[in-house]
Amino acid sequence: MPTMVDVSDKIITKRTAHARSTIEFPPHVLKELLNVENSDGGIKGEEIVSKKGPVFATSIVAGTMAVKNTWNLIPFCHPIAIESCKINIKIMDSTNVQVDCIVSLHHKTGVEMEALTGASVASLCIYDMCKALSKDIIIKETKLISKTGGKSSQIHSDSSATTNKNI
């Protein structure tokens, strides 16, 4: 039978998780979005603007909301009080955008699902806000980069994962 994991006997520790999504745009889309001028005539810096508004700022809000509501979306996630959620979105090159979501708290359960959900929903929001320019935008991957706290810590590289057991 499906069931939520019993964490009642676990020890409260600081838990942190870092998830990353990568979004690929057709070359003309990012270029077009980057060339939008703001109201004072200057080019927007690390923000892109679509007809719906500031894409990255809106996506950070969406991702943060998703982190706080993961337990409502994933059936066996515990409702937890998030202490920190940082979402960073940056343009990597002429076609790729990277979304990083780092979540932490002191609790008996980890926050991997919250970080993965935050990165995923922020990416979906970017897609939604830019889809009028192209339906060929691809959310290429969402993956766990690292987790710390609890019984084990994991740090993932591009090609492999390592696990360190805490005693």
Residues labelled catalytic: 128
SS (H, E, C) the chain: CCCCCCCCCCCCEEEEEEEEEEEECCHHHHHHHHCCECCCCCECCCCCEECCEEHHHHHHHHHHHHHHCHHHHCCCCCCCCCCEEEEEEEECCCCEEEEEEEEEEEECCCCHHHHHHHHHHHHHHHHHHHCCCCCCCEEEEEEEEEEECCCEEEEECCCCEEEEECC
